[in-house]
Amino acid sequence: MARVAFIGWRGMVGSVLMDRMIAEKDFHGYEPIFYTTSQVGQKGPEIGLDIPPLLDAYDITDLGQADIIVTCQGSDHTKDVYPRLRKDGWKGYWIDASSALRMQDDSIIILDPVNKDVIEKGLRQGIKNFIGGNCTVSLMLMAVGGLFRHNLVKWVSSMTYQAASGAGAKNMRELVEQMAFIGQASQNLLDNPATAALELDTRVLETLHSEGFPKEVFGYPLAASLLPWIDAPMENGQSREEWKGFAETNKILQIKKPIPIDGICVRVSSMRCHSQGLTMKLKKDLPVDEITEIIGNANEWVKVIPNSKEETLGHLTPAAVTGRLEVPVGRIRKMNLGEKYLTCFTVGDQLLWGAAEPIRRMLKITLEHLS
Ligand code: HSE
């Protein structure tokens, strides 16, 4: 029976992974062993099975006995443990939600509804590292992967509206603290129905810039504002998040002649759904109906939302999509720019297809490959 090590199952992505695995009854047919970076010997998660106490996530002798390691612990842990394991001769499968090994030549970025062929070929060729992609990239490909699959895309410009969860659990908490702080500071003005909107605006602005405004984690106000920079700067003026759009999309699809992808990535005050407005130049002038069919038939989860105000506002927002596996795409139309220019808008739960779900599915694919 395969031995599967789980590391980082308690954090935000790890918890979503555990919930999804329990919901899908995934804990059978192998021996699950849980690791910890801080609570060795304590009890593991409730998964409906008897499991041994937690083991040390830095102990490579022990981890080295696993056939598969699934980790949501983060890049620092991967950078510490993974090279030591391989140096020690470990030949198992490494399935990782963090970005540490993503761009290595001996890694495949996993998003099986989009690149199952790439994953299966990799497994046959002896690839052992399968890494979850950047959430924005994965959600974009879940939404419009059909157009790439049909070789219709000349280039893409993606303008993103990324949720606080992409920055981390502490950031989600701070966003709500910021909202609460603004609410409290404005309450006496809200209590008076006669307060002028501009007076309220002045109070909110003063609050954003006030001494006690909670911004230790983000560094800046996000509530009642937005942050048009995500991750580290690159030398060419892009942010690292923007750089990933091009690098990772082309790696996921293993496209020989890379497709240009660029845009501006922006943090907004949604909790856990990333949204993106896409502009695409297509290689062919196809009718919108045909394009819509290609988008909608690409996988089980993509869902085309008709381009009406009611459907859009009812079904194409973070409030409507949070906690759901469906990836809606709407606002699909040709642009004034010309017949080959398409625009659309997509929303997806950043913690599901953007993080935990590709990892969960890759574990199943690997177990099938081993059986
Ligand atoms: N880097 C993404 C973000 C999340 O900051 O929203 C992880 O893929």
158 lines ligand 1 (CB under 6 A): no
165 lines ligand 1 (CB under 6 A): no
Question: Residue 111 has which token pair?
Answer: 């998003």
268 lines ligand 1 (CB under 6 A): no
| Structural Rg of the chain based on CA atoms | 22
Catalytic residue, candidates 72, 265, 273, 274: 274
The torsion angles phi and psi of 262, rounded to 5 degrees, stand at -160, 165
How far apart CA 354 and CA 336 sit, in angstroms, is 31
* Strand 338-349, strand 273-282: pairing: antiparallel
Ligand 1 atom with least separation from CA of 354: 8
Note the pLDDT of residue 135. Answer: 97
162 lines ligand 1 (CB under 6 A): yes
Best of 72, 75, 98, 135 for a ligand 1 pocket test (most atoms within 8 Å of beta carbon)? 135
Note the pLDDT of residue 311. Answer: 98
Ligand 1 atom with least separation from CA of 163: 6
Query: What is the pTM assigned to this prediction?
Result: 0.96
How far apart CA 369 and CA 60 sit, in angstroms, is 24
How far apart CA 281 and CA 31 sit, in angstroms, is 48
Q: What is the largest CA-CA distance in the chain?
A: 72
134 lines ligand 1 (CB under 6 A): yes
Could you confirm whether 135 is annotated as catalytic?
Answer: yes
Ligand 1 atom with least separation from CA of 167: 5
pLDDT tens for each residue of the chain, 371 residues long: 999 999 999 999 999 999 999 999 999 999 999 999 999 999 999 999 999 999 999 999 999 999 999 999 999 999 999 999 999 999 999 999 999 999 999 999 999 999 999 999 999 999 999 999 999 999 999 999 999 999 999 999 999 999 999 999 999 999 999 999 999 999 999 999 999 999 999 999 999 999 999 999 999 999 999 999 999 999 999 999 999 999 999 999 999 899 999 999 999 999 999 999 999 999 999 999 999 999 999 999 999 999 999 999 999 999 999 999 999 999 999 999 999 999 999 999 999 999 999 999 999 999 999 99
* Strand 273-282, strand 153-161: pairing: antiparallel
Note the pLDDT of residue 235. Answer: 97
Ligand 1 atom with least separation from CA of 355: 8
Which residue, judged by its Cα, is nearest atom 2 of ligand 1?
166
114 lines ligand 1 (CB under 6 A): no
Which residue, judged by its Cα, is nearest atom 5 of ligand 1?
166
Q: Cβ neighbours of residue 148 under 8 Å, at least 6 residues apart? A: 114, 141, 249, 253, 255, 259
Query: Ligand 1 center to residue 166 CA distance, Å?
Result: 4
What does the angle CA 343 – CA 345 – CA 347 come to, to the nearest 5 degrees? Answer: 160
276 lines ligand 1 (CB under 6 A): no
Ligand 1 atom with least separation from CA of 136: 8
Query: Ligand 1 center to residue 370 CA distance, Å?
Result: 31
Query: Ligand 1 center to residue 312 CA distance, Å?
Result: 25
Question: Residue 364 has which token pair?
Answer: 């199943």
Query: Ligand 1 center to residue 348 CA distance, Å?
Result: 13
Could you confirm whether 209 is annotated as catalytic?
Answer: no
How far apart CA 171 and CA 230 sit, in angstroms, is 13
Note the pLDDT of residue 191. Answer: 98
3-state per-residue secondary structure call for the chain: CCEEEEECCCCHHHHHHHHHHHHCCCCCCCEEEEEECCCCCCCCCCCCCCCCCCEECCCHHHHCCCCEEEECCCHHHHHHHHHHHHHCCCCCEEEECCCCCCCCCCEEEECHHHHHHHHHHHHHCCCCEEEECCHHHHHHHHHHHHHHHCCCEEEEEEEEEECHHHHCHHHHHHHHHHHHHHHHHHHHHHHCCCCCHHHHHHHHHHHHCCCCCCCCCCCCCCCCCCECCCCCECCCCCEHHHHHHHHHHHHHHCCCCCCCEEEECCECCCCCEEEEEEEEEECCCCCHHHHHHHHHCCCCCEEECCCCHHHHHHHCCHHHHCCCCCEEEEEEEEECCEEEEEEEEEEEECCHHHHHHHHHHHHHHHHHHHC
Which residue, judged by its Cα, is nearest atom 6 of ligand 1?
166
